[in-house]
């Protein structure tokens, strides 16, 4: 089970590949993925013990310089986060849906983790910049009050950093809504 993760988001593919190499050589971490996303960004997600993840991300920030868009280190990642990133979540009965939208990919992942830790919700999807012009979004479900609390908590840091776009809570969503959503 993955405990700690870190991400760095860069606005250059070439620099992203270079920074990935520095990150992987900096400390004993596991590469979850390193890949280009829209529009010409590059993201690197690593896992490992918290000290190694912090060291690797710090090296990535230094080496990435002005190409760094956003980063995070999560010391104790919520168990739902990685399956939601991989879109490997089955949709069951849904009382309410929350959607959080961001300019930064790293902000979406951090927000999803915070939302899942705040209230009894289920992460349905964390979309990372592909097919949405480099933006990202999180879809989660639960009871209305839990979804509201999770969305508020998830959006807080992104609002503070200037990476929040929009959010909404939909009580009793139409089942057809999910055909194109997740």
**What are the pLDDT digits (tens) for 73-108?**
999 999 999 889 887 777 777 899 999 999 999 999
CA atoms within 13 A on the CB side of 105: 29
Q: How many residues does the chain have?
A: 182
**What are the pLDDT digits (tens) for 105-136?**
999 999 999 999 999 999 999 998 877 777 89
* CA of residue 60 relative to chain centroid, distance: 18
**Region label for 100, one of left (φ > 0), alpha (ψ between -120 and 50) or beta (otherwise):** beta
**What are the pLDDT digits (tens) for 6-61?**
999 999 999 999 999 999 999 999 999 999 998 899 999 999 999 999 999 999 99
pTM for the model: 0.88
Q: Do domains 4-74 and 81-181 have the same CATH topology?
A: yes
pLDDT class of 181 with cuts at 50, 70, 90: low
Cβ contacts of residue 42 below 8 Å, gap of 6+?
A: 9, 10, 12, 13, 15, 16, 17, 19, 20, 34, 35, 36
The residue extents of the domains of the chain are 4-74, 81-181
Helix, coil or strand: residue 132: coil
CATH topology of domain 81-181: Alpha-Beta Plaits (3.30.70)
**What are the pLDDT digits (tens) for 143-177?**
999 999 999 999 999 999 999 999 999 999 987 77
Query: What is the dotted CATH code of the domain comprising 4-74?
Result: 3.30.70.1710
- Phi–psi pair at 99, nearest 5 degrees: -130, 130
């Amino acid at each position: 089970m993955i405990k700690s993760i870190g991400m760095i988001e860069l606005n250059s593919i070439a620099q992203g590949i270079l920074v990935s190499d520095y990150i992987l050589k900096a400390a004993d971490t596991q590469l979850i993925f390193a890949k280009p996303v829209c529009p010409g960004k590059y993201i690197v997600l690593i896992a490992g013990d918290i000290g190694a993840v912090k060291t690797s991300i710090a090296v990535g920030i230094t080496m990435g310089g002005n190409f760094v868009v956003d980063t995070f280190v999560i010391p104790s990642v919520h168990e739902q986060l990685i399956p939601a990133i991989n879109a490997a979540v089955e949709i069951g009965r849904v009382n309410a849906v929350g959607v959080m939208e961001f300019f930064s990919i790293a902000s979406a992942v951090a927000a999803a983790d915070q939302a899942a830790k705040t209230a009894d919700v289920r992460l349905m999807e964390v979309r990372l910049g592909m097919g949405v012009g480099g933006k990202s979004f999180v879809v989660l479900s639960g009871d209305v009050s839990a979804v509201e609390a999770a969305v508020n908590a998830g959006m807080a840091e992104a609002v503070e950093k200037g990476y929040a776009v929009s959010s909404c809570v939909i009580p009793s969503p139409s089942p057809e809504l999910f055909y194109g959503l997740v």
